[in-house]
Structure 1
Amino acid sequence: MRTRTLLLLTSLLALVVAGCGAPRASPGTKPTADVLSSLGRDESIAALLPEATRRSGVVGFGSSVGGRPPSSYYAEDNRTVLGQDIDIAEAVGRVLGVRVEREVAGFEAILPALASGKYEVGTGNFGVTEARLTTVDFVTYVNDGQGFAVRADDTRLEKVETLHQLCGLKIAVGAGTTFEATLEREKQVCPANGEPAYEVLTFSENAAIFPGLRQRHFDVIMSTINGLRHAAANQPNLKFLNEFKRLDVGFAFKKGSPLTPAFQAAVNKLIADGTYQRVLTKWGTTASAIPRSEISPPERA
């Protein structure tokens, strides 16, 4: 049923997305501050890299590029990738003295591809969860998490504190995300109380989600806190409701990857020298700063 619903909604939204072309940033969402040019290789941190990586000078990334800032998005040329995740990855690469070789991929495809060796590192605002920690290691660089948004003219919800408040509503999420996992795991909360279940609609293409909400194909968006806050500030008739749960976000690696100590040291150097704060200031995400990077910390309670 969910697959049929997704296909139907995809068809309904196809003309909208096609009319918009590739995702573009909203006016005023192209920060130009130079926060990276002064960075150079730190020999002591680069020495933590595996010998093969030091020789090649390249690290292969699989990156999910969302439709809107601040995490990652396409510039108006529809080729250049911008955003907080991009700047932090580039900054780490400069400290390590390696080139970031990025392939854009679907969010739900990246974590499985780490185990196969297709990518060495995954980025895409991946939240650290206990389920993911069974197969993936993380090096954290911000905390973000789960939030909700609705149309500004929709008065049914003011704040989502429990999923029981969503009974009978249609919620749009990205495929393979913590949002989908959270909603699916708790889906019986409404029928258990004699109320209609909420419906989870998953999308591989995030560009379809905001137009779909505007056209009333669903009622609520569950997505990243930073992404929804930014979208609400730059789109008409969109209201950010509230933070639901904070999660650490990190670079993702296959379990036991030898790259993690070097990446952690690089992030901590960026925090110590002020580059990290400048990147987050550039993208308006200073509330997501962490005091230090960790390797595979437990999921936030």
Structure 2
Amino acid sequence: MRARCLLLLTAVLALVVSGCALPADAVDPPPSGVEPTEDVLSGVVEDEAIASLLPPAVRDAGVVRFGSSVGGQPPSSYYAEDNKTVLGLDADMSEAVARTLGVRVEREVASFETILPSLAGGKYDVGTGNFGVTEARKKTIDFVTYVNDGQGFAVRADDDRVTRVDGLVSLCGLRVGTGAGTTFEATLEREKHVCGAAGKPDYEVLSFSENAAVFLGLQQRHIDVVMSTINGLRHAAANQPNLRFLGEFKRLDVGFALPKGSPLAPALQAAVNELIQDGVYPRILDKWGTKDSAIPESLISPPEHG
């Protein structure tokens, strides 16, 4: 398996194309560390007042259709050892909100870059995938926030070319791996001009649909730097060998994604705020080691962090 992974990844990287996707069985997932076993959901029951905020059609159906990106690593969303059960902060938050609303989560796993367009087409009611709230996304998508995460960088621990990224000029001349369709990819592509302006060679952006491929590419030296979520990189650096987290670059609110103007938004917001007030919310974050990402209250499509 490992040899086949390297051959496939090397071939894909040689094409130097954006939005690369490897077959689901072509990449060994990064080690996930110990799977948390705390039961943080058993006490969550329906709140009738909050459930009354649901659109009648959703309440009658008793189901909310989720399109979810399962990124391959904790703490946001990943598979258990059975390669079927979805674990992580996103899964626990979705389930807690659904129980508060008295409905069931009907989840379909989808690639990250397809979920937001699918919301507009009506395929899903809600999208999850550590979607950061940006002004660009808010033109077509509404968000109900539930955590604060953001953008960070990591390198191999034995690579001392970059010790911190305070500005993207620190990446000039390097190969940066990231997720396709993410805020990371958008930021990197938008700001590529900073290298030329500084009289330095451009950095190269390599984008992948499979998150595991990014880390494999880093360790096999096809990629020099990884740009991903703050919480994801912190967890990876604590559990993967030869990986060093370079620190936070930019904070972003993260939310449930919905079609613009969705009548579900007030119900989801009220459910998240109830979980914050009754103590379930901090227990979920503690379970996944993300208490630094707590928000004081859920908001609908707040301004993007500067």
TM-score between the two structures when normalised by the length of structure 2:
0.93
How far 1:7 sits from its partner (Å)?
8.1
What residue number does 2:6 align with? none
Q: Are the equivalent residues in 1 in contact too, given 2:180–2:209 (CA < 8 A)?
A: yes
How far 1:211 sits from its partner (Å)?
1.1
Q: Deviations over 1:211-269 (max 9, x none)?
A: 11000001000000000000000010000001000000000000000000000000000
> Which residue type is aligned with residue 242 of structure 1?
G
> Which residue type is aligned with residue 86 of structure 1?
A
Q: 1:8 to 1:55 in 2, by over 3 A?
A: closer
What residue number does 1:18 align with? 26
Matches within 5 A, 1:1-301: 4-6=15-17, 18=26, 20=28, 23=29, 25-28=31-34, 30-301=35-306
| Secondary structure of the structure 1 residue equivalent to 2:59 | helix
| Secondary structure of the structure 2 residue equivalent to 1:127 | coil
What is the percentage of aligned positions where both structures have the same residue? 70
How far 1:191 sits from its partner (Å)?
1.3
Q: Distance in 2 between matches of 1:48 and 1:70?
A: 30
- RMSD of aligned C-alpha atoms? 2.0
Q: Distance in 1 between matches of 2:19 and 2:61?
A: 46
How far 1:158 sits from its partner (Å)?
1.0
Q: Are the equivalent residues in 2 in contact too, given 1:31–1:282 (CA < 8 A)?
A: yes
Q: 1:7 to 1:192 in 2, by over 3 A?
A: closer
What 5-or-longer segments of structure 1 have no aligned partner?
Answer: none
Q: Are the equivalent residues in 1 in contact too, given 2:18–2:208 (CA < 8 A)?
A: no
What 5-or-longer segments of structure 2 have no aligned partner?
Answer: 1-12
How far 1:207 sits from its partner (Å)?
1.3
Q: Distance in 2 between matches of 1:275 and 1:256?
A: 28
Q: 1:25 to 1:262 in 2, by over 3 A?
A: farther
Q: Are the equivalent residues in 2 in contact too, given 1:25–1:75 (CA < 8 A)?
A: no
How far 1:195 sits from its partner (Å)?
1.1
Q: Which aligned segments of 4 or more residues in structure 1 are displaced greater than 6 angstroms?
A: 7-11
Q: Deviations over 1:18-71 (max 9, x none)?
A: 362xx365232x000000011110000000000001100000000000111000
Q: Distance in 1 between matches of 2:222 and 2:21?
A: 10
Q: Are the equivalent residues in 1 in contact too, given 2:21–2:210 (CA < 8 A)?
A: no
